[in-house]
């Protein structure tokens, strides 16, 4: 039996635009993932704690307000603090090209930028899950 992949979609910070996050959650569900959605306006610590409790393979973060440089790395740090540095973090939203390197440096494994197709998004989650499984 194939292991079910579990992912958590989180919206750190105050950005309330969750259209993208919800569309991605549904697309992942329709692709056979078990998806946990945190809802909007979450602290990085809340997202990390939920990811650990739910023992997900990957955390996907979405922020459209430009706060990604602070918030995404904060989630990575919180995961590490809880001993879950093996949970991969994927970031998405309005991320300018020059921020991508900084985010990767901070441990965000993949960055999805505006215009990424659902196929690309699903692929990113799938490979992140597979990599974690080893």
- Give the residues lining the site for another protein (CB under 8 A): 1, 3-4, 6, 13-19, 22-23, 25-46, 49-50, 52-55, 65-71, 74, 82-84, 94, 96-98, 113-115, 117-119
In whole angstroms, the minimum distance from the beta carbon of 109 to another protein comes to 19
Question: Given the complex with another protein, which of 67 and 127 has the nearer CB atom?
Answer: 67
In whole angstroms, the minimum distance from the beta carbon of 74 to another protein comes to 7
- B/e letters for 36-69, b = 16+ CB within 10 Å, e = fewer, are bbbebebebbbbbbbbbeeebbbbbbbbbeeebe
In whole angstroms, the minimum distance from the beta carbon of 19 to another protein comes to 5
Angle in degrees, CA 37, 29, 56, rounded to 5: 55
């Amino acid at each position: 039996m194939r292991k079910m992949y579990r992912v958590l979609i989180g919206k750190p910070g105050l950005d309330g635009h969750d259209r993208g996050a919800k569309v991605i959650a549904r697309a992942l569900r329709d692709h056979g993932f078990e998806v946990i959605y945190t809802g909007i306006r979450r602290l990085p610590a809340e997202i990390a704690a939920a990811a650990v409790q739910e023992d997900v393979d990957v955390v996907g973060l979405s922020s459209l307000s430009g706060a990604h440089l602070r918030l995404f790395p904060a989630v990575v740090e919180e995961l590490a603090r809880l001993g879950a540095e093996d949970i991969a973090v994927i970031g998405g939203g309005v991320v300018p090209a020059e921020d991508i390197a900084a985010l990767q440096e901070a441990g965000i494994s993949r960055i999805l930028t505006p215009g990424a197709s659902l196929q690309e998004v699903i692929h990113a989650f799938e490979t992140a899950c597979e990599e974690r499984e080893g």
